[in-house]
Homo-oligomer: A and B are copies of this chain.
Amino acid sequence: MLSELEGAIMLEVHMRRRRTAFQVRSAFLKSVTSDWSGSAGSVYPAIKRLEESGYIQRTTEIDGRGTQTLTATSEGISALHKWAVDPDLSAVITSDPFRTRSDYLSSLPAKKRKDALDAIRVKLADALIEIDNLLDQDHILKQSANELAGQLLRMRIAWLDGLNR
Contact = CB atoms under 8 A, between A and B. Distances in A.
Looking at chain A's contact residues, is the secondary structure mostly helix, strand, loop, or mixed?
helix
A90 B98 contact: yes
A151 interface: yes
> How many chain copies?
2
Nearest to A158: B151
Interface stretch (A18-26, A44-52, A64-72, A117-125): A117-125
A41 interface: no
Contact of A91 (B7, B102, B123): B123
A100 B34 contact: no
Contacts of A95: 4, 33, 35-36, 94
A62 interface: no
Interface in A141-159: 141-145, 147-149, 151-153, 155-156, 159
